[in-house]
Amino acid sequence: MNFFKKSLLLLLGSALVFICVSCNKTDSNAKANVDYSKAIIGHWTKDATDDNNLVELSIGAKNDNSASYYDLIDQDWGVMAFGTFVLNGNKLNLTFNDVSVTDENYNPSSRNGFTNKKDRTINYTIVSCDEKKLVMQDDMKISSSWSKLR
């Protein structure tokens, strides 16, 4: 009888683990199947930046697949990058092929992974997105939160 109880507990425990893993996969797949194509379009500003730093991301604002990224200090110098985006489920791929990065003296420079005159691709996983808030995670598992400007 003791063997029977242990076997039954092991079987029930295995079934519970299987159910939990299946539920977790379903949740991940559900996010991948959400249609973000309308909610993601627009101008976004990055949350939690200091007053002198403006970080904006524009996605499809021209009713096309265009993307632009600004990371400007005193709205004067920093990163200005232009390119395209591809959205596939909850995966957002940004490819910038027109990149300008300058320092405070307007010399060519590098900043936050961007280098002057060098292409840059960023792959994000959308965690959530609605008409007001966008939360994404990059390939290095760093999350960023954005608020919609317009």
Beta strands in 89-142 (DSSP E): 91-101, 110-111, 114-115, 120-129, 133-138
CA distances to 104, 124, 143 from 139, in Å: 29, 6, 10
Please state the rounded mean pLDDT for residues 72-97.
93
Please state the rounded mean pLDDT for residues 13-24.
39
**Does the pLDDT of residue 56 top 50, yes or no?**
yes
In this structure, what token pair is assigned to residue 137? 């995670």
73 and 127 belong to one structural domain: yes
The count of structural domains within the chain is: 2
Please state the rounded mean pLDDT for residues 105-132.
93
3 and 50 belong to one structural domain: no
Q: Where are the alpha helices (DSSP H) in the chain?
A: 2-32
139 and 113 belong to one structural domain: yes
- What rounded mean pLDDT belongs to the chain? 81
**Does the pLDDT of residue 6 top 80, yes or no?**
no
Report pTM. 0.74
Tell me the residue range of the domain where 8 lies. Answer: 1-33
56 and 12 belong to one structural domain: no
